[in-house]
Structure 1
Amino acid sequence: MHLLFVSHSAELMGAERSLVALVREAARVRGHRVTVTLPAAGPLESELTGAGAAVAVLPTRLWMGRRHRGPVGVVRSVQALASVPRYRRFLRRARPDLVVTNSVVVPAGALAARSAGVRHVWTVRESLLTNPSLRCALPRRTIARIVAARSDGVVAISRYVAEQLLAAAPDAAPKLRVVPPAVEPRAAPPPAGAREPVTPGLAKLVLLGRFTPEKGQADAVEALGRCLRAGRPLRLTLAGVGDPAARRAVRELAERHGVGHLVDVHAWVDDPYPLYAAADATLMLSRNEAFGRVTVESLLAGTPVIGYRAGATTEILADGGGVLVAPDPGELARTLLGLAADADAVGRLRSAAARRAGALAAVPSSASRFVSYLEELRADHR
């Protein structure tokens, strides 16, 4: 079978890393022919070729994004739709059996596949109805209905995402599967109780993600300031913050809360596992987390997660490995202070995270489930 994956980005964020796992499963493990289209050159290309895919750069625009409001959103949506003929011509040359779009934000491959009579699967990686960073000239419910109508199959990466899609497009139910992204550990998880914190109680935290209101860095820094005023100085590492302007904004925020000396800021990290290993806990403070790759990575590293009781974070932590907190910086500070005051709390959480890591590592890769679903769709079409 020839599979064509359409990527919305050539970077190496969570969605793109999940795509690499799918490509590796389809090409290296199952022996399928795999092609991936990228909108531009970027670091994802070498990862994909190493996983067994042929890569083609096919420029296109997104129809959803942070700056897609008003006239700008209309222009970018028109540009995204103008890419459809280019994709249709590519489909005629490549002749794939199935097209898989890796994100809702890019429509060209899906619409081209539909018009060319090629079966199509749309992967929904976004909390469509509630994510404030997803802006579009079209209403979000309309986008959801287009996803349902223009697909032979739909894969949601969490129950949270699936519920939002179905709320807007109930007709998607018969073709919808929930398959979480594949997250592969970079290091063997430690045995339960093997990694005790260097200092008693809670001392070091890490939060990964671009600096946006959605990711909760501002809440983390405010909570850190509250802890310091209560006599508990906690260190926080913010990684993957983004460009120099974002880093300056984070540092200014930390200074305003009096914790500039306690906050370390990194633009980007290729391998987050050393950061998890060095921390007593990972913070996951998104109010609309569609899945939570960071949460799973942290657990696989044996590091517990302190997460907001929101989005798909509740699904991952439902079986243990961390603490859920009401999404509020005051509640977060109270939780951190409670953990910092209990010399044994972090040890207990680490033991729980290590047990959770063992359970997660024992589950077969979800990439296998995803590719099996694609094989089923192809078999049904014959």
Structure 2
Amino acid sequence: MRILWLSHEPGLAGAELCLVEAARGLQAKGHQVRAVVPARAGLADRLAAAGVSVSVVDYAWWVGTDARRAVRHRLRRLRRNIRASKKLLRLVREVQPDLVVTNTLAICSGAFASRCARIPHVWYVHELFGKEGHNLFFDFGESMSLRLMNRLSDQIVVNSNAVRRQLQDWIPPEKLRVVYNAVEVPPVSRPIKRTDHRFRLIHVGRLSPSKRQEDAITALSLLAKKDLDVSLALVGEESPEYGAFLRNLARDLGVAERVEFIAFMEDPFSAVAASDVALMCSRGEAFGRVTIEAMKLGKPVIGAKSGGTAELIQDGWNGFLYQLANAEDLAAKIEVLYGDRRLLMSMGRQAQEWSQRTLNLETYASDLINVFQEAIDHHAGRKEKMAHSLGS
């Protein structure tokens, strides 16, 4: 199977890491993957190291945040996408793939090029949209855009049931397939030596309102009032206003010395491995790559009962779920593990065993191959049906 795979980002965030893992898994099974990126950066380098050919096409998103939904921004993106679709059509005709995969709902040029070239197309959705996600809104409206996604796809892969539920009003159930990501975690090369016995919490992810790190700080303050020796590390780049808000909150609640802000870590896995519990406070994780990374490092995760997080954490077995935006509930769950180190260890062990058994490269690649073959078969059946109707 020859697959042309389009990424919306040139960097290495969650969806892009999934692309790299998928390419490695598919190539190990004898399939060919060629990638398209909007610019050369970290993703292109990582793919090249995995033996994947990479092309660059300057396409734009067809979604925007509230700040970039003005008509002029939408028209500018539309013009870029018209030009990009023509370039992609030439590339598709040159490569002659069996299948085109668009690695996000944020771009559409690959879908239009595939339709023009009469090549099967799969949309691979890694994100929630609208207010449930990260305030991403379609340039041409939700209903019209999602109906177009349905018409321009032979199958749609989603990375959680949370994403499936958000799409199910526009996409028929037989076209939606849930495939959980593999999530590879490298060995921790430089373990961090602990110099104290403080109970360590960690939250990895960009500091932004949708991630709700404020809940972690508020929960920490409630634990501090009980004289529990707990600290919190917040690892991730900051949106300036929210970062300042979190620092002020920690100071106002009297826990500033217990909170460490780490803007960038080349190896965040070492920090997770040195912690006791990982937190996931986000209001709308489509999947939760960070959650699985922590589990694979043997850490229980306490996460908000929201989005894909609620599918990954089996409450009371490999972690705890707490009510979204309820810092008191979060603090209570942390306190349980603080007071029961045997439960802490068993939850971490169960999290590691489950994640390694369930979310691995072999299973991931096999699941994708099955869906891609369904898409190819669906496309062939549609062409045959069309030819039959024209002949009659």
Q: TM-score range by the shorter chain?
A: 0.7 to 0.9
198 and 306 in structure 1: CA distance in 2 versus 1, 3 angstrom threshold: farther
Report deviation, 1:246: 6.2
Give the Cα separation in 1 of the matches to 2:62 and 2:217: 33
1:236 is aligned, of 216, 232, 237, to 232
Measured against aligned partners, the alpha-carbon deviations of 1:69-105 in whole angstroms (never above 9, x if no partner) come to: 3335523542453322222222222222210000001
Letter in 1 for 2:23: V
Deviates more, 1:139-148 or 1:295-304: 139-148
Give the Cα separation in 2 of the matches to 1:164 and 1:370: 21
Q: Contact (CA 8 Å) 1:204, 1:236: kept in 2 or not? A: yes
Report deviation, 1:118: 1.2
Letter in 2 for 1:303: K
Give the Cα separation in 2 of the matches to 1:164 and 1:277: 34
Could you tell me which runs of 5 or more consecutive residues in structure 1 were left unpaired when the two chains were aligned: 189-196
In the other structure, the counterpart of 2:383 is: none
In the other structure, the counterpart of 1:142 is: 144
- The alignment status of 1:321 with 2:323, answered yes or no, reads no
376 and 240 in structure 1: CA distance in 2 versus 1, 3 angstrom threshold: same
The secondary structure found in structure 2 opposite 1:56 is: strand
Give the Cα separation in 2 of the matches to 1:23 and 1:58: 19
In the other structure, the counterpart of 1:280 is: 276
- The alignment status of 1:106 with 2:107, answered yes or no, reads yes
Give the Cα separation in 1 of the matches to 2:232 and 2:144: 40
Q: Contact (CA 8 Å) 2:221, 2:255: kept in 1 or not? A: yes
In the other structure, the counterpart of 2:355 is: 360
The secondary structure found in structure 2 opposite 1:113 is: helix
Q: Contact (CA 8 Å) 2:124, 2:156: kept in 1 or not? A: yes
Q: Percent identity?
A: 33
Q: Contact (CA 8 Å) 1:22, 1:371: kept in 2 or not? A: no
Give the Cα separation in 2 of the matches to 1:339 and 1:37: 45
Q: Contact (CA 8 Å) 1:10, 1:39: kept in 2 or not? A: yes
Report deviation, 1:3: 0.8
Give the Cα separation in 2 of the matches to 1:337 and 1:283: 13
1:295 is aligned, of 266, 274, 291, to 291
- The alignment status of 1:78 with 2:75, answered yes or no, reads no
In the other structure, the counterpart of 1:12 is: 12
Deviates more, 1:311-320 or 1:371-380: 371-380
- The alignment status of 1:58 with 2:53, answered yes or no, reads no
Q: Contact (CA 8 Å) 1:119, 1:151: kept in 2 or not? A: yes
Q: Contact (CA 8 Å) 1:128, 1:140: kept in 2 or not? A: no
Report deviation, 1:367: 2.6
- The alignment status of 1:46 with 2:41, answered yes or no, reads no
Give the Cα separation in 2 of the matches to 1:79 and 1:259: 50
Report deviation, 1:339: 3.8
- The alignment status of 1:351 with 2:353, answered yes or no, reads no
Give the Cα separation in 2 of the matches to 1:222 and 1:69: 34
Report deviation, 1:231: 2.8
Letter in 1 for 2:168: L
Deviates more, 1:227-236 or 1:270-279: 227-236
Measured against aligned partners, the alpha-carbon deviations of 1:129-150 in whole angstroms (never above 9, x if no partner) come to: 5214212333334332222121
Give the Cα separation in 2 of the matches to 1:238 and 1:26: 35
Report deviation, 1:271: 3.2
Report deviation, 1:270: 3.8
Q: Contact (CA 8 Å) 1:207, 1:239: kept in 2 or not? A: yes
Letter in 2 for 1:263: V
Q: Contact (CA 8 Å) 1:4, 1:99: kept in 2 or not? A: yes
Give the Cα separation in 1 of the matches to 2:146 and 2:345: 39
Q: Contact (CA 8 Å) 1:80, 1:108: kept in 2 or not? A: no
76 and 62 in structure 1: CA distance in 2 versus 1, 3 angstrom threshold: farther
Give the CA RMSD over aligned residues: 2.5
Q: Contact (CA 8 Å) 2:157, 2:177: kept in 1 or not? A: yes
Q: Contact (CA 8 Å) 2:208, 2:238: kept in 1 or not? A: no
Q: Contact (CA 8 Å) 1:62, 1:76: kept in 2 or not? A: no
Report deviation, 1:233: 4.7
Q: Contact (CA 8 Å) 1:63, 1:76: kept in 2 or not? A: no
Give the Cα separation in 1 of the matches to 2:365 and 2:8: 19
In the other structure, the counterpart of 2:208 is: 212
TM-score by length of 1: 0.88
Measured against aligned partners, the alpha-carbon deviations of 1:292-341 in whole angstroms (never above 9, x if no partner) come to: 1111111111000011111111111127310111112232233334443x
Report deviation, 1:244: 6.6
Q: Contact (CA 8 Å) 2:122, 2:375: kept in 1 or not? A: no
- The alignment status of 1:369 with 2:367, answered yes or no, reads yes
The secondary structure found in structure 1 opposite 2:285 is: coil
Measured against aligned partners, the alpha-carbon deviations of 1:258-287 in whole angstroms (never above 9, x if no partner) come to: 322222222233433212211110001112
Q: Contact (CA 8 Å) 1:68, 1:136: kept in 2 or not? A: no
The secondary structure found in structure 1 opposite 2:138 is: coil
TM-score by length of 2: 0.85
Could you tell me which runs of 5 or more consecutive residues in structure 2 were left unpaired when the two chains were aligned: 189-193, 381-392
Q: How many residues align?
A: 367
Q: Contact (CA 8 Å) 1:104, 1:123: kept in 2 or not? A: yes
- The alignment status of 1:151 with 2:149, answered yes or no, reads no
Letter in 2 for 1:256: D
Letter in 1 for 2:322: V
Give the Cα separation in 2 of the matches to 1:102 and 1:31: 21
Give the Cα separation in 2 of the matches to 1:17 and 1:220: 27
Q: Contact (CA 8 Å) 1:68, 1:135: kept in 2 or not? A: no
In the other structure, the counterpart of 1:194 is: none
260 and 33 in structure 1: CA distance in 2 versus 1, 3 angstrom threshold: same
The secondary structure found in structure 1 opposite 2:329 is: helix
Letter in 2 for 1:19: L
In the other structure, the counterpart of 1:131 is: 133
Letter in 2 for 1:269: M
Deviates more, 1:6-15 or 1:237-246: 237-246
